[in-house]
Amino acid sequence: MSMTSTNIRLIEVIDLRPFDWETGKREPIEDDKKSICDRCGKLHAKVYVVEKEGKRYDVGATCCNRMFGWFPTHEDLMNAEAVAKDKAVQAALQTYAQAVIDEVENTPVPALQYREARWTYFGYDYIFTIGPKENIGIRIESGSMTQKHPSEIVLTDADRVRFAHIWKRRIVHKCIMERYSHLPRTKQKKLEFGLLNLLEITVS
Ligand SMILES: [Zn+2]
């Protein structure tokens, strides 16, 4: 049977070497954590996962070529490498900043209280904070020219979600300042950005 490239494809590239978030570098790996090549039986830290006619093969780069007489295109390889790098960075971040993730997940989002109405020339805005002296909360734009009674202003689920994100973002920021004060400023920013992304915290 002739072999064509259509029945072979690269599923993914796996790099088993642990990634250190702080240094941004791969670390050495012990032999017992490596993968056994399906062609030569040797141990590889970097594995090409290839599918041929529905069967999966874990091989090293050289063995991919030797076993199938086929090699992924440069583009497929670059994409697979980029995905592998992203996964490694995410996993490393998760390990590196587990304390922050725990704190965000274990700190309840406080309830909002009505604070005051503010005239903005475009209508009234209503300010809700977590307490009369706290400077964290949300502003609800009403567009209304008449000031409402506080009991008429109902927070929607979307408002609560918006506030939960603001609250979580503040926790992430506070934790980084407390626990990762040894990092340079740019690295702290990178950590903050990575964690907001990992925890799916969006603040518009
Ligand atoms: Zn091999």
Ligand 1 centre to CA of 51 (Å) is 16
Ligand 1 centre to CA of 48 (Å) is 10
Quote the pLDDT of residue 203: 80
Per residue in 116-141, pLDDT tens? 999 999 999 999 999 999 999 999 99
Q: What are phi and psi of 75, to 5 degrees?
A: -65, -45
Residues of the chain with pLDDT under 50: 1-3, 5
Ligand 1 centre to CA of 49 (Å) is 12
Spans of all domains in the chain = 8-87, 103-198
Of 162, 169, 110, nearest to 138 (Cα)? 162
Whether the CA torsion 30, 36, 37, 41 is positive or negative: it is positive
Quote the pLDDT of residue 21: 93
Question: 168 by DSSP, 3-state: which?
Answer: helix
Ligand 1 centre to CA of 72 (Å) is 16
User: How long a stretch of residues is the chain?
Assistant: 204
Alpha carbon distance 50, 72 (integer Å): 9
Quote the pLDDT of residue 7: 87
How far CA 80 is from CA of 43, 45, 138, in Å, comes to 20, 15, 42
